[in-house]
Amino acid sequence: MQHKIDLNRLVDDHGDYLYRFALVKVRSETIAEDMVQETYLAAVKSLESYKGKSTERTWLTAILKHKIMDHYRKYSKEENFDDTESERLGILKYFKRENGWSGFWNEKFRPARWNISPEQDLENKEFYEVLEKCLTELPDKIESVFRMRELDGEDSKNVQEIFNLSPNNYWIMMHRARLSLRSCIEINWFRTEIQ
Residue ranges and CATH numbers for the domains of the chain are 7-76 (1.10.1740.10), 83-189 (1.10.10.10)
Alpha helices in 95-124 (DSSP H): 118-122
Q: What is the pLDDT along the chain (195 residues), one digit of tens a residue?
A: 455 677 888 889 999 999 988 988 888 889 999 999 999 999 988 888 887 788 899 999 999 998 988 888 777 654 555 555 555 555 666 665 665 554 555 656 656 655 566 666 566 778 888 888 999 999 988 999 999 898 888 888 989 988 888 888 888 889 999 989 988 888 888 775 544
Whole-angstrom Cα Rg for the chain = 21
pLDDT on residue 78: 45
Give dist(CA 36, CA 21) in Å, integer.
9
For residue 82, the 8-state DSSP code is -
pLDDT on residue 188: 85
pLDDT on residue 1: 46
pLDDT, tens only, 6-29? 788 888 999 999 998 898 888 888
pLDDT on residue 106: 60
Nearest to 126 by CA among 195, 180, 191, 178: 191
The answer for 100, left when phi > 0, alpha when psi is -120 to 50, beta otherwise, is left
pTM attached to this predicted model: 0.51
Residue 8's SS3 state is helix
